[in-house]
Amino acid sequence: MRTTITLDDDVAALIESERARTGESFRAAVNRLLRRSARAGPSAAPPALPKFPGEPILDVSDVSALLAALDDERRAQRGVT
């Protein structure tokens, strides 16, 4: 099958570096890389983050609470109440 596609510059550079490494034609390199990518399937999920025992001291997703806790800590270090 013959078709025309527009490649992003970074993709074209990757194909060219593969061609230089393997000595393949452009067509052979593209076909091999597409087959390999199609066989690989969906990318694996990132590994789960470790879980530590106990309750968190701060909820870092709550920026307001985090900033308030930092302000309280700075005041305590300076002896200001």
Per-residue model confidence as pLDDT tens digits over 48-79: 888 888 887 777 788 888 888 889 888 888 88
Predicted confidence at residue 57, as pLDDT, reads 75
- Indicate the pTM of the whole model: 0.49
CB 57 within 8 A of CB 63: no
Per-residue model confidence as pLDDT tens digits over 2-55: 899 999 999 999 999 999 999 999 999 999 999 998 888 777 788 888 888 888
Predicted confidence at residue 9, as pLDDT, reads 95
Predicted confidence at residue 81, as pLDDT, reads 63
Dist. CA 51–CA 11, nearest whole Å: 38
Could you please report the per-residue DSSP string of 12-39? HHHHHHHHHHH---HHHHHHHHHHHHHH
